[in-house]
Chains A and B, each alone.
Chain A
Amino acid sequence: MERRSYRTDLWIDWCPGCGNFGILTAVVRVFEELGLDPSKTVIVSGIGCSSKIPHFINVNGVHTLHGRAIPFAMGIKLANPELIVIVHGGDGDLLGIGAGHFVALGRRNIDVTVILHNNGVYGLTKGQASPTLPLNAKTKALVKPNIQQALNPIALALSSGYTFVARGYAFDGEHLKNIVKKAILHKGAAFIDVLQPCVTFNDIFTAEYYRKRIYRLEDNSSWNPIVEKPEDRTIKLLKAIEKSFEWGDRIPIGVFYQDTTVSTFEERILQRIKIYLEMSPAKSSIAEDGGRSVIDGKRFEEIFRDYIVDVEGTQQ
């Protein structure tokens, strides 16, 4: 398919120079390379600048509530596991108000890709400190230096159980595209922390700042993030967590961890419901023609027989 067909013709109202443009481009290129069917692909977003992204892409888009993109995505995916589901949200959205959902998705390992637009601030509400802004940092919109500590999105994702964890940079398009592609192809919960300069409100984490510090993990030939067998899991996980705390003069991007030895949530459901994939919630018929329930009187008695008592005789 042409690249053009994955873009809507809506005007994009992000600030000129915004890192979100890089993310949008990378995502669209992946769709193009994978030739994803727009009607079987869903982008689910929360609230904020980053979360307007579904409107700019010509696949199904669900622009939801602040922090709640993940639960919406979960419902869509579990109801119809055929769909490819991608979540977009900002750092405030996914790691502040939505942190509980973020953790829960990892625990479940549902086959959903989460793309974090990480710029350290709440842009759309004019620059408040987000959960990824370091303690004592003072961006220009803040009245006083940040009084709360930053959390580490990569370490949080790893300890929550995401089975694909990576970091990209909004202005390294080719690299980001490759990561997004791997994440979408990964079976299980995938997380990408995308460093994304906010040109209007974050005067610390600027493009200039990142240009000097960012390096690619894969440039070191000894870096192998992939868990080949379950026994390696703990060691790889610890290495990835250790690496995730490297921040300052050098900031790594690339894949931190990938584990395909953990069952996905869909596979766990399939263990319990053998027909889950061919008769998923969205695909199984609930009524016959004319509106009769597929559960008629006879089937009702068979299904719910535990509740039914056959009345016999009367007393004495």
Chain B
Amino acid sequence: MAREDVGIILGGPQGAGVETSMMVLTRALARRGFGVIADREYFSNITGRHSYIHMLVSSRAIPRSLRYPVEIIASMDAETLFTHIDDVANGGYIVYDSGVASKRLEEIVSMEDITRVRVLEKLKKNGVASTVASVLKFLERDRDVKAIGLNFADLLRRLMNRYRIEVSSLSRYVSGIIVSAVAVLLGLDVEAIKYSLSIQFSSRRNIVEQNLELFKYVEESLQSYRNSIALEKPKHNFRKLMIVTGNDVVAMGKIVGGLRYQSYYPITPAADESFAIEKYEHLRAEKDIGSIVVIQTEDEISAICSAIGASLAGARSATVTSGPGFDLMVEGISWAGANEVPIVVTYYQRGGPSTGQPTRGSQSDLFNAIFAGHGEFARVVITSGDHVEAFYDSIEAFNIAERFQVPVIHLLDKFLANSIRTIPPPDLDSVKIVRGSISSGGKEYKRFDLGYIVSPRAFIGVDDTVMWYSGDEHDEYGHIVEDPENRVSMYSKRIKKLDLIASEVSRDMKLQVYGDRDLDYIIIGWGSVKGVVLDALELLYRKGFRGCYINVKLLWPFPSREVVEVLSKTDRDRIIAIEHSYNVQIADLVALSTSIKIEKKIAKFTGRPITLNELVDALQKLLTSETTHVVLTYGA
């Protein structure tokens, strides 16, 4: 029977081509209309540590969440098999290199000791010896798994002889074996693979040819497994799908939204966004559209300050960072607040505190984004639940920044940044660029005219106009003034923007509610937990629990009125807050803003994404018992 979706793990050492495998497979699958979501897990390391892709292929264009166990594990090395011993489904498939069958767990130096000890204990408990062969035998016997050994060395030797490839570059073809094996299991045709390869290696025809030859060898070896895991026909009829990471999609949104200056200091997981933008620095389609200056600054302080400078001159400008970098930017954000400068900070959270888990995900910086900075001033914090939202929100971030002349923090996370999704191309007819109140200046121009909450803004450089800015309290012209009455009017003018924002930002931009209207329970959360929560709602609905999800998008100023309106539809003890953090800060934010105290919480702070299986279990537990707090831990 054809399946709606298939879960897959592609694993191997960092730098060995796991990502290339994912990209080639994803593009080939998209070519045939399948949707893919893929999370990339990796150490803070360049080469050698265990990295893997956890993906879900689906007949939906945009699958929403990841789950365990998976139907296919394709491993480049022995470590993958030990690390993911619990992750394969009953009746699932494991593709492995038969050359590593005798490899012992104790020999795997790239594995962290603490992980090795844990895996060893697990093996001991099940009476399994610590070799790859015994692990596979155990899975075959215990879980009806089919372990498919391919002799990687033999396959590569054949290829080498055929094309006279240097021995030293043979390892580059391992990704081809992985791609081919998974494609054969899924019954994906060679034409789709060919299409994908020719884009992946567009300038290197011979590599495409060699990989196709390799596909042939693998297909021969796996004849009997062809189409073992068939997928249902795609349920959508998009003629085009984009394959994007969160970084990519934000880059695109910013460019469409009129970004003209982007500064950054390298930091994971934000830096890829700037790389993506830099490709379009000379922006042109059928005509020259404009220039985007992308600059790697000397530090995050310079990144934010130079972006503010560019904004003063009239360019839509942004900077991009994650927690440690944001901390350095705070002084600049305060200055922007004091000087009513539109500026966008795209903030990709990762595991903290300090350098924490540089390559893992988290949502623990909510309060950092909302409250960072001394003194009081209006700032806006928005977030996105998935790749599609992130595109439109990247544009809206500029619109809000310019309409209200405030710093806007677009709070995202590593799960979004580094995960790949297939999404339909955006609908640009629905996109609007709103620059707010712009003045053409003139001799009498007053930058901080107290006749408005949002004074008309002239850009530095406008003819016949001179203006001043100062981080000190200032008068309408921007000159330093310490007079108490001026202080009250200027200070209030700036903060009153929060009320204006609360009344003028659209409801859709504040929050979105998904699910049943007749409610047993309500989940509230924000950012990239959205997909997995929506899938969990669906599964629980089938089990008789009717719930809804409040996807909060405007985190500050918090949409108290709208949230209360939804939360009041159920009993307080049927409200559940969820977040990738220890404290589940959204619950505190709701309490602070609405006086509603949420007791039930689901937290995950391993750095790995929340998966559907563990979330459904947790929700069921919260809904059927006195439990109030569940901490999730699934994932390698």
Contact in complex: A308, B242 (CB < 8 Å): yes
**Provided the pairs A295-B285, A300-B256, A304-B252 are in contact, do residues A78 and B306 lie with their beta carbons within 8 angstroms?**
yes
Partner of A281, one of B252, B291, B426, B435: B291
Contact in complex: B291, A284 (CB < 8 Å): yes
Q: How far is the CB of B457 from chain A (nearest CB, A)?
A: 13
Partner of B286, one of A58, A71, A299, A304: A299
- Within B303-350, the residues touching A (CB, 8 Å) are 303, 305-317, 331-332, 335
For this complex, 25 residue pairs linking A to B, each with C-beta atoms less than 8 Å apart, are A42-B460, A44-B309, A47-B471, A54-B468, A55-B480, A64-B335, A64-B469, A71-B301, A72-B312, A74-B306, A75-B312, A76-B313, A79-B315, A104-B302, A269-B293, A273-B293, A281-B261, A282-B260, A282-B459, A284-B290, A286-B260, A287-B433, A292-B433, A297-B427, A300-B426
Partner of B479, one of A10, A38, A62, A308: A10
Residue of chain A at shortest CB distance from B186: A315
Q: How far is the CB of A207 from chain B (nearest CB, A)?
A: 28
Residue interface mask A42-83, B partner, CB < 8 A = 1: 101001000010110011111111001011111111111011
Complex-state Cα separation, A54 to B312, whole angstroms: 15
B residues near A174, Cβ cutoff 8 Å? none
B residues near A304, Cβ cutoff 8 Å? 242, 252
A residues near B243, Cβ cutoff 8 Å? 307, 309
B574 sits at the interface (CB 8 A)? no
B122 sits at the interface (CB 8 A)? no
Complex-state Cα separation, A276 to B189, whole angstroms: 46
Complex-state Cα separation, A286 to B295, whole angstroms: 20
Complex-state Cα separation, A282 to B422, whole angstroms: 34
Complex-state Cα separation, A237 to B29, whole angstroms: 60
Contact in complex: A75, B305 (CB < 8 Å): yes
**Provided the pairs A10-B479, A281-B291, A281-B292 are in contact, do residues A298 and B305 lie with their beta carbons within 8 angstroms?**
no
Complex-state Cα separation, A47 to B233, whole angstroms: 65
A235 sits at the interface (CB 8 A)? no
Q: How far is the CB of A11 from chain B (nearest CB, A)?
A: 11
Contact in complex: B282, A308 (CB < 8 Å): no
Q: Residues of A with Cβ closer than 8 Å to B?
A: 8, 10, 38-40, 42, 44, 47, 52, 54-55, 58-65, 68, 70-80, 82-83, 100-101, 103-104, 269, 272-276, 279-282, 284-287, 291-304, 306-316
- A61-B469, A75-B313 known; 4 new pairs, CB 8 Å cut-off, are A75-B307, A101-B301, A281-B261, A302-B285
B residues near A303, Cβ cutoff 8 Å? 255, 280, 283-285
Contact in complex: A79, B467 (CB < 8 Å): no
Complex-state Cα separation, A224 to B289, whole angstroms: 45
B residues near A73, Cβ cutoff 8 Å? 309
Q: How far is the CB of A166 from chain B (nearest CB, A)?
A: 24
B residues near A80, Cβ cutoff 8 Å? 313-315, 459-461
B residues near A47, Cβ cutoff 8 Å? 471
Partner of A75, one of B188, B292, B317, B467: B317
Q: How far is the CB of A160 from chain B (nearest CB, A)?
A: 11
Residue of chain A at shortest CB distance from B331: A65
Contact in complex: A279, B290 (CB < 8 Å): yes
- Which secondary structure dominates chain A's binding surface? mixed
Partner of A296, one of B189, B281, B292, B428: B428
Contact in complex: A295, B468 (CB < 8 Å): no
Residue of chain A at shortest CB distance from B298: A104
Output the residue of A80, A281, A310 with the most chain B CB within 10 A: A281
Q: Residues of B with Cβ closer than 8 Å to A?
A: 27, 30-33, 187-189, 195, 199, 231, 233-234, 238-244, 248, 252, 255-258, 260-261, 263, 280-286, 288-293, 295, 297-299, 301-303, 305-317, 331-332, 335, 395, 422, 425-429, 431-435, 441, 459-472, 478-480
Residue of chain A at shortest CB distance from B423: A307
Output the residue of A62, A302, A306 with the most chain B CB within 10 A: A62
Contact in complex: B261, A75 (CB < 8 Å): yes
* 6 A-B pairs closest in CB distance: A75-B309, A284-B290, A286-B258, A281-B260, A75-B306, A299-B285
Complex-state Cα separation, A20 to B429, whole angstroms: 56
Q: How far is the CB of A7 from chain B (nearest CB, A)?
A: 12
A residues near B280, Cβ cutoff 8 Å? 303
A residues near B459, Cβ cutoff 8 Å? 80, 282
Contact in complex: A79, B317 (CB < 8 Å): yes
Complex-state Cα separation, A70 to B434, whole angstroms: 30
Contact in complex: B461, A301 (CB < 8 Å): no
